[in-house]
Amino acid sequence: MARYRERLTAGRLTGQRRNHHPSFDRTQLQGWKMMHREAELPHEAWNAEEKRCLTQGLEGADSIEDRSIPTFSRGELPHFAGINTFMKAPYCEDVHDVGKYDVAVMGVPFDGGTTYRPGARFGPQGMRKISALYTPFNYEIGVDLREQMTLCDTGDVFTIPANIEKTFDQVSRGMEHVFRSGALPVVLGGDHSIGFPTVRGIARCTDRKIGIIHFDRHADIQEKDLDERMHTTPWFHATDIANVPAKNLVQIGIGGWQVPRQAIKEARRRDTTIITMNDVAALGLDKVVEIALETAWEGVDAVYISFDIDSVDCGFVPGTGWPEPGGFLPREILYLLGRVASEGICGMEVVEVSPPYDTSEITALMGVRAIVDVLGSVVAHGKMGDHRRLLRDYGAGEI
């Protein structure tokens, strides 16, 4: 190390230059390309937001030099203040107005399907809170969600803590209402039992077939657990729906010591596709994407994404009910989510975020990041609004 420092110092003194990459062209860097693509993005929605905040929040004190800053916090800024809707999006208090937006975020604060560590009922609150950390612009993807789509937060479904079946009915009704409105539903869970009623709500809106791409460490496809439909059972019941074929269920990341044999027997009987973490390592991420898209989309008209936070290695997401080592690295799961979303989706859920077990809100942050990366990919690939074609022949409106 000392010799290296001596040579480096000598080179500086004699005017020598390092030239390890003589043919390097910085214009080929993603960083350079995205830096210039930003100039092509519109700015009208941000200007409108500033005007709205000033109108509703009162002009700032005379000493404030930046005259776009109001007296009362409104909108995105400052990130540490204000009322936390998802990404500081408008709160759609009257859910009859949800169809005015491209995307509607919907909380499902329910953990009555949890079989070990409860706490996921606080997942929607946790994700909304930490979502204030983000802006709607992503440099690497080259999108600005504020400028290129409209987003609202509908608040939470009124769940019934002591009754899983009544809660399922509430969730399905909420999903059906949002989907029929034309908005793309994005669900903040909640434990994974809600995977069944969310898909059921969409399936009620159309006769067309729906595939599912499911990221998890657990198979979640047994019929019952502890004599009830629980967070280990959503895909048994979802794929019992006539237009949700089991052959179009792709489960990615499954493995470890928490996959009951009952689930594997059912997956075998229904001929679903399971891709383990060892498969991911052997095949590579791009091949996994190819398999997932070909299988989930074969003969169907739309695909739903179910993202269980525990598919990520528990060293990165401690705040979950069934932590299991050996899952995805954050970079890997974000890549996979973005790639499978590039073909378009009819909805998405993030489940099993449990703030009572979280550390520094990093698990909730991972859930938020998954959502915005999926939305960013859908926008970047021109697929926003594609889900509405499921309604084209069947009509839309209130349920």
CB 234 within 8 A of CB 187: no
Which DSSP letter does residue 183 get? P
CA–CA separation, 63 and 86 (whole Å): 31
**Residue 340 pLDDT > 70, yes or no?**
yes
pLDDT, residue 17, reads 58
Give Cβ neighbours of residue 120 (< 8 Å, ≥ 6 apart). 110, 111, 114, 189, 190, 191, 320, 321, 351, 352, 353, 354
SS3 46: helix
Name the residue type at position 68: S
Residues 139-173: tens digit of each pLDDT = 999 999 999 999 999 999 999 998 999 999 999 99
Q: How far apart are the C-alpha atoms of 93 and 263, rounded to whole Å?
A: 40
Rounded Cα distance between 200 and 173, Å, is 9
**CB-CB contact of 327 with 313 (8 Å):** yes
What kind and span of H or E run contains 107?
strand 103-108
Domain 90-390 top-level CATH class: alpha beta
- Residue 46 neighbours by CB under 8 Å, 6+ apart: 146, 147
CA distances to 14, 227, 248, 252, 334 from 312, rounded to whole Å, are 51, 28, 23, 11, 10
- Answer yes or no: is pLDDT of 208 > 90: yes
| Contact in structure between 345 and 323 (CB atoms under 8 Å) | no
> Of all residues in the chain, what percent carry a pLDDT higher than 70?
92
Average pLDDT, whole number, for the chain? Answer: 91
Mean pLDDT value across residues 174-200: 97
**What are 283-332's pLDDT values in tens digits?**
999 999 999 999 999 999 999 999 999 999 999 999 999 999 999 999 99
pLDDT band at 396 (very low <50, low <70, confident <90, very high): very low
- The residue that leads in pLDDT, 21 or 83, is 83
pLDDT in tens, 3-45: 555 655 555 555 555 555 567 788 989 988 989 989 999 999 9
For the record, the structure tokens of 77 come out as 């800024």
Asked if residues 204 and 138 have their Cβ atoms less than 8 Å apart, the reply is no
- R_g over Cα of the chain: 23
Peptide bond into 109 cis (omega under 30): no
Give the per-residue pLDDT at 56. 86
Quote the CA–CA distance of 78 and 169 in Å, as a whole number: 38
pTM comes to: 0.88
Q: pLDDT category, 64, cuts 50, 70, 90? A: confident
Count of C-beta atoms within a 10 Å radius of residue 380: 17
Which part of the chain has CATH 3.40.800.10?
90-390
How far, CA to CA in Å, does 107 sit from each of 190, 263, 275? Answer: 8, 28, 29
Euclidean distance between CA atoms 198 and 174, whole angstroms: 8
pLDDT-derived band of residue 69, with 50, 70 and 90 as boundaries?
confident
DSSP notation for 201-242: HHHTT-SS-EEEEEE-SS----S-BTTB--TT-HHHHHTTST
Q: Say if CB 160 and CB 193 are below 8 A apart.
A: no
Distance of alpha carbon 229 from alpha carbon 166, whole angstroms: 12
